[in-house]
Amino acid sequence: MKMLLADTWVDRERSIEVRDPYDGSVIDTVPAAAAEDIEASLAAAARGAEVARSMTSYQRATVLRDTADSVEKRAEEFARTIAREGSKTIREARKEVRRCVNVLNVSADASKQLVGETIRFDSFPGGENRIGYYERGPIGVVAAITPFNDPLNLVAHKLGPAVAAGNAVILKPATSTPLSALKLVETFVEHGLPPLVIQAITGEARDMGDQLIADDRVRMISFTGGVDTGKMITQRAGLKKLGMELGSNSPVIVWSDSNVAWAAETCVSGAFAAAGQNCIGVQRLYIHDSVYDEFRDRFVSLTSRYQVGDKLSEATDMGPLIDERAAERVERQIRDAERAGATVLTGGTREGTLIPPTVLENVPTSAEIHHQEVFGPTVNLYRVSDLDDAIAQANSLPFGVHAGVFTQDVDTAFYAARELDCGGVMINDSTDYRLDAMPFGGVKDSGLGREGVRFSLYEMTEPKVVCFHLAKPKG
């Protein structure tokens, strides 16, 4: 596939192969952008910001709605692209397409609801005879940098609000999974998004990152990815807005009065969806001593039934990791935890990029698999007996996107929700639950700002105050 530079789909002599992580086969190639391409995209985006600003909310909503309709009609084509280039099974990919359609439709609605409010200037002495309001306007150029694990929907979460707000966007999709993103950009253009308002540049981040991040023509960077990269961006970005969705290590508390069968079932899917390559996937389970054995046995039994392999097979529950280097890293973390005293209850092996769902207990807190984001199909079980201790352990790491609590007691639920230090608490659901319209993001090292269409829309706009000093009419 080609990349969209300025208003033209272009190729380059140097290209990057996009490979299926399951069998290593080449699916397609994309251009490797050079420094001069980044400069061209920045210059074009600056012009595109003026074009985008002039669009009416009706025009923006129409483009978004028509794009959503087209993606929905081509759902299976998009799903197969997601499944081929990434880690998701075909069933997981179809769900991602449905979410993308929803995000674009919600963005279309939000574009018409981007309003300000009147201000009571006479609420303080000196404000007499003044009346006014504020409105929200586009920020300008947004650089959107997206990861491999949700190659379509996380792109939609950036493009949808950016277009709805009247901004120009430069999209840099993940190097390993650019095809879904390029198809979505292509669909936007086909359905009337004006030239220069959107661009998609492909290639290695090391070849373009600093240039794109530091340029003053970019007024906001919306990034989803790892903590280390996020910190680097904050150091080099300069004076501009930042939206950061970074790593996590999501804890779940399963309390004594919980529905153990439901907790085990939903936490298995919450831990191993997308082969565990998910910033809100379940990684640590703190289980009350009185139900620990029952929960462990159910959880391990359900996990051991997972079918791992061909992503395009309807029977497959979990596919491969994104590449062999990622699989080797997860395997090393498992072996290191075993040497430190952990017990592998199921899984723990590796064959190429495939690692079966892996459950561990007796994991020491010093183990990397405990205190870092694994981003792989592993989960750790811990026995607890005191709620405050469970909450303290859940809060003990420098991450905080989602946490989960399973309990039938309303006091326990509200208390835990108040005390857990994170961006969202899921009661009687795994941490993997997300509604695309809700505010989504984390605290501590897990990010800055919030996504979710309406909340991204605010991040991607600036308020402007207009105040009239009313004088007595003449005559």
Catalytic positions: 245, 279
SS3 assignment, position 167: coil
Distance CA 277, CA 145 (A): 17
User: Kind of pairing, strands 343-346 and 358-361?
Assistant: antiparallel
Question: 433: phi > 0 → left, psi -120 to 50 → alpha, else beta; which?
Answer: beta
Strand partners for 131: 468
Distance CA 470, CA 412 (A): 56
Cα end-to-end span (Å), the chain: 69
In the β-sheet with 424-427, what is the strand arrangement from edge to edge?
A: 343-346, 358-361, 378-384, 282-288, 250-254, 402-406, 424-427
In the block, residue with structure tokens 């996937």: 281
Q: Could you give the angle at the alpha carbon of 245 between the alpha carbons of 102 and 278, nearest 5°?
A: 70
Q: Could you give the angle at the alpha carbon of 98 between the alpha carbons of 97 and 101, nearest 5°?
A: 90
CA-closest candidate to residue 432, choices 276, 281, 254: 281
Tokens of 463: 């308020």
Helix axis angle for 410-419 and 387-394, nearest 10°, is 30
Total Cβ atoms within 10 A of residue 349:
11
DSSP letter assigned to residue 438 = S
Tokens of 355: 């690692």
